[in-house]
Structure 1
Amino acid sequence: MEAATGALSPALRKLGELLAGEYNLEKRVKKGVQSLRTELEMVHAVLREVGKMPLNQLQEPVQIWAGKVRDLSCDMEDAVDDFLVRVGEGSGSKPTDMRSRINKFLKKTTKLFGKGKALHQICDAIKEVQDLAKELVELRKKYELDMFSSTNGATIDPRVLALQKDVGELVGLDRTRDELIKTLICENGSSKEHLKTISIVGVGGLGKTTLTKVVFETIKVQFDCAAFVPVGQNPDIRKFFKDLLYGLDKEKFKDIHNTTRDEKLLMEEISEFLLDKRYLVVIDDIWEEEIWRCINCALCKNKLNSRVITTTRNMSVSEACLSSSDDMIHQMKPLSDEDSQILFNRRIFQSKEKCPEDLQVVSRDILKKCGGVPLAIITIASLLVSNQKIKQKDEWVHVCNSMGRGLTQGGIVKDMKRILSLSYYDLPSHLKPCLLYLSIFPEDSEIERDWLIWRWLAEGFIQCDKEESKCDKEKSRLFEIGESYFNELMNRSLIQPAKTNDEGVVVTCHIHDMVLDLICSLSNEEKFVSMLDNVQWHAPNLQKKFRRLSLHNINAKVQNHQFDSTSLAKVRTFAVFSPVTCDWLPSLSSFQFLRVLDLGNCGSRESSSGISLKYVGNFIHLRYLGLEDADVCKLPMDIGKLQLLQTLDVRDTSIKELPASVIQLRNLICLCVNSEVRLPKGMGNLTSLEVLEQVGLSSSPHIVKELRHLTEVRSRTLSVDCDNMDEDLIDVLIESLGNLHKLQNLRIVYCGRLIDRMCESWVPPPNLRSFVSRGSSYSPSWFSRLPKWINSSLLPHLSRLEIDELQGDDIQIIGMLPALRFLRLRASRVMGTLVVRADAFPSARCCIFRGFPTGPCLFPPGAMPRVQHLVFKVSAPSIASGEVDCGLGHLPSLEHVQVCLERENSSDEETETAKAWLRRAGEAHPKRPTIEIKHNYWQLSC
């Protein structure tokens, strides 16, 4: 019933706004609103208690009542929201005293709220809520309902110990990992071997994907090309083939997702590409034999020792993957009692240390119920920690009792769902809708953190502890709260990290299939999100009313169905994750209360006109407009009417310019465009902007002077063509950048003369965390000398630095930056001798040195103690002769090394000697890092 609770929260806030003094409501209306709010507060208190219980534990009359409250609350919020927005719309857009404008407007429209539709709707809501309150009392009396007879466990503090950092560790699977690696790379004494397939099978939650990823990452460097591609329960086979091609060669197939090739052509392209290559392909989570047979037809059966790994929950699918006597099945087994305890202890105590004596018995009981399933152990462990402190014994006992019988042999999937639901019902009320919202994404999606938070913000899920009026003035504060929501869900193992950047920040996440199954089920029961795909598409679905609608994998056979316009009238989020044809999309005119419109990756690009956004200007409630990679060529001229719009993303579209009315979007926080897109004059009016990405100053030179007004910007990417900028304009740009005191991330590309002028006159903001300058062969981007502002005192928080050119002493200065985690240095020549101190780069995780010969010998013992990824260039003769020591032992944290081996003026023997030496250095290292040797920088993945 969390959807009912969640629906009431914003409704209460909106009623509070109506009671604010500046609206001067009639006494009769104000009294009714106050009465309504009082009733709803009582209902809300009841629903919060109901929401702590699993739906199947509630008696049916209570479920019916709560469902009515949910629907009524949403309708009432729509009515109040519509009134508030239209008041703002009628008051004009020029910046004057807001209170005066509202009062003036209301005086002119005295009867708008007294006799209009809004009053009628809210008066109806008042009567309905009063009736519902009476109905609740009668239900409890009639059926003797006791809604609070059982609870779901202790309330968990929302700030728990971060438990995700050991996700990659294979507790109890290290021997299995080593055996699989040995089997996969074994040559069997033959120089040529047929394609070999290993299929890993087991129920969800046993760690199939985790094991496979570790094996894949360990051995992929030994193959000509490699790809890891998920399939899932309802796959889009065309998208799968495109993902496979892109994974095999990201450069060659960088535009593959924009093509319209059918399955047959894609299969032929895959087979042709793999014909002369030794490849490694992982196909994760196959559900049907037919899908495997289709994929298998595309894989070239060459004799180059290629390997395929599949994972599945179905034994019959696993058996279908075998085509020769060399192929094998590995069946996943639950963890042993000992390994279960190790994983459990790591999740709670961050070590292998034993559980405290007073908790040992209950911990064994909990682990017994987890049945050796890692996902169950991880999620249950997250319930036993609060504020980085271990909970009391009685709370452990409570969690144990809530697990029922635990996992049984015959019903692991059902039991696992029940155990996962404990974590859901133990969430604070503000996190439940945020988690349910994830059901809008297709399975195996890699979800970008920031864009998820922007969506939560648009939906109103992010709540501020301060008064609403003050909170609205601190949009960045809301985003920070959203970041804490994201972190809390991750700490509870309900979402998992997919990619972490070099600064240590999780930038994308994914959802375990079993967690996704749970939240999709809950979301459907509570009518929170409606998801339609080829399997679920049928006539009754198209007639019901939706609140949030997501379309997945819709093929041509079902695109002839049309929505009833009334079913879309109340939709708040409409998202398409399928390349449907433009003429099939439901008419945007059907939407009345849309807050989130995401057409990213939508449109087959087969239509000459593309997606029409004609009616978008009417979406006065819209907060989020996502069009990245959509088949869109222009925005509506009246987009400025969207006074509540917070996020606008038009990257990778055919849009060439933004309409002039964009400058009226005073609440716009995030704007992402391509550098070629022309921006209108007056962009300095968008003073709420915090994120501004890929702005091309050559296409919009007037922006140079207007940047100084965007003082809230904290992240920006500039594309600068200084050949078209005079010296005075460059000075203005540097002055404008100096006015952005909240700037945290700055990326400048194709910056020519600008970058060297910044060396002298720019003063960076104190909180700068990332500085990146990139050039090209046509527009070089380097400092003639290291700027004086690059030092530890002026940039104490700088964690990412990418610059070109340096001299001998520069690396000493850079090495003393205390927070630096990612470093990329490029130089065509190095002046002087590079010398590094033993305490240099204390926080560095990734160091990339391009364009000049160097090696690990540059860094003495003690330097770079935490570096995990190292890229450098070295000549083969210098290693073969012993002139350069490429030993890695003094870099204790190394995990991956990429070497550009320069072969100029070297013999084949020297090259092979150098390769062998580098590989032995990797094998001798305690962590056995992977060693990747290339002969050109462009072959490296950095």
Structure 2
Amino acid sequence: MGTLLPKLFDILQKEYQLQKKTRGEIMWLMSELESMQIALLKISEAPIDQPPDEQVKLWAKNVRDLTYDIEDNIDKFVVRIDTPMPNNPHSFRGFIERSLDLMTKAKIRRKIGLDIRDIKSRINEEKERRDSFIQRAFKTVGIEEKTDYLVRRLMEGPDEELRQQQYVVSIVGFGGLGKTTLAMAVYKELKEKFDCGAFVSISLSPNMVGILKNMLHQLDEEKYCNINGATWDEGQLIDELREFLKKKRYIIVIDDVWDNSHWQTIRYALAENELGSRIIMTTRIVSIAKQIGGAYQLEPLSLDDSRKLFDQIIFPLKDKCLPYHLSEVSQKILKKCGGIPLAIITIASMLASKKGNEHEHWYKVYNSMGSGLEDKPDLMNMRKILSISYYDLVPHLKTCLLYLSLYPEDYVFTSKTLIWKWVGEGFVETEQGSSLYEAGREYFDELMNKSMIQPVDEDGLETRYRIHDMVLDLITFISIEEHYLTRLDGHQSLSLPKKIRRLSLQTNVEEDVKQLATISLCHLRSLTVSEQSFNLLPSTLSSLCPLLRVLDLNCDGVENQHCKDICNLLHLRYLKLSCDCITELPKEIANLQFLQVLDIYHTHVKELPPSFIQLKRLVYLHVNGWYMRLPDDLGSLDMLQEIGDIFYIDNPTMLHNLGGLAELRSLSIDIIKWDESYDKAFIQCLSKLVSLEFLKVIGTVGSTCGSNLSPGPQRLRSIDMSDCTLTAVPRWMSSLSSLSTLSITLLTLGEEDLQILGDIPSLNYLDIQVRKATPDRNKRLVIDNVSPFQCLTQLSVVSVTMEVRFAPGAMQNLRNLEFYINVRETVDQFGDFDFGLENLSSLDSVGVRIWGSDSKMSEADDAETAIRRSLHMNGKNPTINLHRHDWA
């Protein structure tokens, strides 16, 4: 409804020369739909202890289908009338575009704007809560003792002979108890003690070939770097694993086993070699754990640990306690949660976000929770508990969460991919001045805050996320019930609805896809294809689903000739192609006049056709910038907000093109060889990027010290210039009023550099790397209250000799300091280790790395003693984390 009503309003506002009667019918239709929307909002805002009955839900479903059909017809009309006339630049479409500024906002848009502002306010209040604790709470309450116990059990056999045998521990327990979290904790604790290791998930309907390939890749990333492209079958992969592990002491985690046959397949691949290897398995099924042996029954949290987990989510800052008037109801809630961490986290996260009259609301939550969980924690009761958090969401967040039902179990995804998909679906609404991605990120953060989405710990990679199996179970159940999204994944018997709006194909089973031939897909709006399902589709995409808006093809079988057909999908808003066989895009890409998101990073496309610049509605472009040039006239895409990946810049003209992107929010560039011709072009480009919020520059860069940056990117919050070396801090940085995070590498550090850095008004985090000490300097640079650094709370300095000293009154808000020194060179240059740490009045923690190569042990001792003495004199009594390196 939120996207349909504005479209109707647009049709009335634009000069489409509608008949008077038609205009009247549209106005009547808008009035009726607004009345329906009011009723729907009342239903969604009903108390959580009064869920809608079946008749109301059926009515809501019918209204949804009605709005879909109306919107389909509108889109058909708009696409036809808005198609550009290729030989006439002064076309009717051009007149329509010139009329856009005359449009006003409908009443419903104003209402949505108010809702979004209210949501923003709530998100800002809860960000600190999310960042500081919620996602870590699960890992810190009640798990330490269990981890220690399992580590001892795995490693401390009664004698040496038994310790050398292969040993298996199976962790068994109900979904949501934390089996995976415990297994991961034990795995991380022990991995360094083994030759190699792997952590793989099986789930309900596993792809055994993919799992075995994943295991090989984790065991030896270098040897099996191209394993995913190998055509080995299951038997060949098992033989390869047995051969590889024959002489290795390994630790393997097999997570979420549902079927004993799947376990036996993997068990056979894990060669026994009397080297003391260890295997950890998790399952919800007691019989499987008993068959495997070494069963460890994971019990629910004790009442005390449940209380700790609950309280830490409600009060993450640990400086408050639960009010007396909430103690009784909280005990009742915890009793119903039955010690299941997932239930405690989801319920506590929801309660924590509520303000005002907590007592009444908490009792409503308690009364709506499924009964009997403490006696028999079965699936339906967990659904009831999780559904409370679902129905507590505002309408647009329900829609966004249900969209996650397109993913299979244990699927990991990036926030960026999901958010841009929401944008393509039309789920994201923005206020003036904010970007679509920003608004979508707030939606994502709110779902994180509600513990509906969990981060996956993957060191060294972009943060990835998943949804808990029980949450997936819930939203899949709701999605099927409401005909929201259909997923064919090869293991569930599904009666397909008459009208499919969103489809996710994740199957190699031809019988599954054959079901699609029996129904019409002409109403399909979103299609996600993985595995080898693409070649099983009964027809071309343009004839099969002409109204498609979102297309995500992550599968084999898609080639260049298919792209021409895809370019006939005139309604596309989101297009992602992850197919190695695609090497070029056709000129017909210009047909996609409504396209907002284009992601072809995982293809071999090296050049975009000239017609690409006709995609005037494009807001996000993701290509592999390491080998693709930015197209000429890219600056004409004046709605583009983000360019994914890093782009090579090999001439100043490319910077000039970038300067035309006035809506650009994020930019990463690699300037191959900087010379004086780039200085002016860079400053001019930056001056025009008035919406820029993040900038990363790598390569060989000069000083870029020009001070004239007008109007300049006053929204710029983060600059990363750590992968290039500047001769000085650019003076224009001090004019950036919103800059809060700066990472910069300097050839040498001087007084003027510190002055410019200190004058950046909102600087909160500063990371400075200095390549070499200033010659002949024997007195440290002093930072005092004359160099304001008024907002700085975190400082990291990597410098051979730590050339700065803090005077009284310096950096009065600094809480965390990290620095590096070389003992020998510091003594040679300055003769002491006096950094003035005692003068930092707000300091909470200090991290120091002392490098002692070619130095005397006594000098390193002197450095450590001086630093500890200085911190002891600091009235804040900061903690210290000090490391000494290389005493040879």
Secondary structure at 2:520's aligned position in 1?
helix
Alignment correspondent of 2:574: 624
Deviation, structure 1 residue 463 = 3.0
Deviation, structure 1 residue 715 = 0.7
Alignment of 1:448-597 (within 5 A): 448-464=414-430, 474=432, 476-498=434-456, 508-536=464-492, 541=496, 544-552=498-506, 554-555=507-508, 561=514, 563-564=516-517, 567-580=520-533, 582=535, 587-589=540-542, 590-597=544-551
Post-superposition Cα deviations, 1:225-265, rounded to whole Å, max 9, x if no partner, equal 44433332222223323333444455555544344443344
Indicate whether 1:414 and 2:380 are aligned. Answer: yes
Alignment correspondent of 2:688: 739
- C-alpha distance in 2 between matches for 1:906 and 1:253: 45
Contact 1:156 1:428 in 2 (8 A): no
Secondary structure at 1:614's aligned position in 2?
helix
The one-letter code matched in structure 2 to 1:526 is: E
Higher mean Cα deviation, 513-522 or 482-491? 482-491
The one-letter code matched in structure 1 to 2:769 is: L
Q: Figure out how many residues of one structure are paired with residues of the other and give that number.
A: 825
Alignment correspondent of 2:31: 38
Post-superposition Cα deviations, 1:302-331, rounded to whole Å, max 9, x if no partner, equal 555444332221223333444xxxxx3322
- C-alpha distance in 2 between matches for 1:404 and 1:682: 60
Q: 1:672 to 1:57 in 2, by over 3 A?
A: closer
Q: 1:682 to 1:103 in 2, by over 3 A?
A: closer
Q: 1:220 to 1:81 in 2, by over 3 A?
A: same
Deviation, structure 1 residue 493 = 1.6
Secondary structure at 2:635's aligned position in 1?
helix
Which of 728, 749, 765 lines up with 2:677 in the alignment? 728
Deviation, structure 1 residue 582 = 5.0
Contact 1:712 1:742 in 2 (8 A): yes
Contact 1:666 1:688 in 2 (8 A): yes
TM-score by length of 1: 0.75
Q: Which runs of 5+ in 1 are unaligned?
A: 1-7, 106-154, 323-327, 465-470, 776-780, 908-924, 936-942
Alignment correspondent of 2:341: 374
The one-letter code matched in structure 2 to 1:26 is: Q
Deviation, structure 1 residue 513 = 0.8
Alignment correspondent of 2:7: 14
Q: 1:838 to 1:760 in 2, by over 3 A?
A: closer
Alignment correspondent of 2:352: 385
Deviation, structure 1 residue 486 = 1.5
- C-alpha distance in 1 between matches for 2:880 and 2:189: 10
Alignment of 1:242-391 (within 5 A): 242-250=213-221, 253-274=224-245, 277-302=248-273, 304-322=275-293, 328-350=294-316, 351=318, 353-386=320-353, 389=355, 391=357
Deviation, structure 1 residue 587 = 2.0
Q: 1:837 to 1:555 in 2, by over 3 A?
A: farther
The one-letter code matched in structure 1 to 2:476 is: C
Deviation, structure 1 residue 361 = 1.5
Alignment correspondent of 2:874: none
- C-alpha distance in 1 between matches for 2:296 and 2:794: 35
Secondary structure at 2:575's aligned position in 1?
strand
Q: 1:830 to 1:104 in 2, by over 3 A?
A: closer
Q: 1:225 to 1:380 in 2, by over 3 A?
A: same
- C-alpha distance in 2 between matches for 1:356 and 1:98: 66
Alignment correspondent of 1:917: none
- C-alpha distance in 2 between matches for 1:621 and 1:700: 36
Contact 2:490 2:512 in 1 (8 A): no
Post-superposition Cα deviations, 1:157-184, rounded to whole Å, max 9, x if no partner, equal 9647355432323222332223234444
Deviation, structure 1 residue 537 = 6.7
TM-score by length of 2: 0.79
Indicate whether 1:441 and 2:407 are aligned. Answer: yes
Higher mean Cα deviation, 528-537 or 55-64? 55-64
Deviation, structure 1 residue 652 = 2.9
Secondary structure at 1:290's aligned position in 2?
helix
Q: 1:270 to 1:156 in 2, by over 3 A?
A: same
The one-letter code matched in structure 1 to 2:30 is: R
Alignment of 1:841-880 (within 5 A): none
Q: 1:872 to 1:284 in 2, by over 3 A?
A: farther
- C-alpha distance in 2 between matches for 1:250 and 1:826: 34
Bigger relative CO (Cα 8 Å, ≥ 6 apart): 1
Superposition RMSD in Å? 5.0
Secondary structure at 1:612's aligned position in 2?
helix
Contact 2:505 2:528 in 1 (8 A): yes
Which of 530, 552, 567 lines up with 1:598 in the alignment? 552
Q: Which runs of 5+ in 2 are unaligned?
A: 100-118, 827-831, 858-876
Q: 1:629 to 1:362 in 2, by over 3 A?
A: same
- Percent identity among equivalent residues? 34
- C-alpha distance in 2 between matches for 1:393 and 1:765: 47
Secondary structure at 2:200's aligned position in 1?
strand
- C-alpha distance in 2 between matches for 1:931 and 1:275: 38
Alignment correspondent of 2:656: 705
The one-letter code matched in structure 1 to 2:13 is: A
- C-alpha distance in 1 between matches for 2:221 and 2:166: 23
Indicate whether 1:633 and 2:583 are aligned. Answer: yes
Alignment correspondent of 1:657: 607
Contact 1:498 1:506 in 2 (8 A): no
The one-letter code matched in structure 2 to 1:329 is: A
Q: 1:21 to 1:370 in 2, by over 3 A?
A: same
Alignment of 1:97-108 (within 5 A): 101-102=95-96
Q: 1:644 to 1:100 in 2, by over 3 A?
A: closer
Deviation, structure 1 residue 439 = 0.9
- C-alpha distance in 2 between matches for 1:433 and 1:225: 42
Post-superposition Cα deviations, 1:45-90, rounded to whole Å, max 9, x if no partner, equal 3334445689997665555444333222211110012212322225
Alignment correspondent of 2:136: 168
The one-letter code matched in structure 2 to 1:84 is: V
Q: 1:15 to 1:735 in 2, by over 3 A?
A: closer
Q: 1:277 to 1:349 in 2, by over 3 A?
A: same
Indicate whether 1:672 and 2:672 are aligned. Answer: no
Secondary structure at 1:564's aligned position in 2?
helix
Alignment correspondent of 1:648: 598
Deviation, structure 1 residue 585 = 7.9
Secondary structure at 1:15's aligned position in 2?
helix
Indicate whether 1:204 and 2:172 are aligned. Answer: no
Deviation, structure 1 residue 364 = 1.3
Alignment correspondent of 1:177: 147
Secondary structure at 2:480's aligned position in 1?
helix
- C-alpha distance in 1 between matches for 2:370 and 2:183: 32
- C-alpha distance in 2 between matches for 1:91 and 1:276: 69
Contact 1:196 1:307 in 2 (8 A): yes
Q: 1:38 to 1:285 in 2, by over 3 A?
A: same
- C-alpha distance in 2 between matches for 1:278 and 1:762: 62
Q: 1:59 to 1:694 in 2, by over 3 A?
A: closer
Deviation, structure 1 residue 531 = 0.6
Secondary structure at 1:294's aligned position in 2?
helix
Higher mean Cα deviation, 609-618 or 271-280? 271-280
Post-superposition Cα deviations, 1:670-722, rounded to whole Å, max 9, x if no partner, equal 11111212443221110111111335445787533211111221211223322
Alignment correspondent of 2:868: none
Deviation, structure 1 residue 906 = 12
- C-alpha distance in 2 between matches for 1:873 and 1:584: 63
Deviation, structure 1 residue 564 = 2.6
Q: 1:220 to 1:788 in 2, by over 3 A?
A: farther
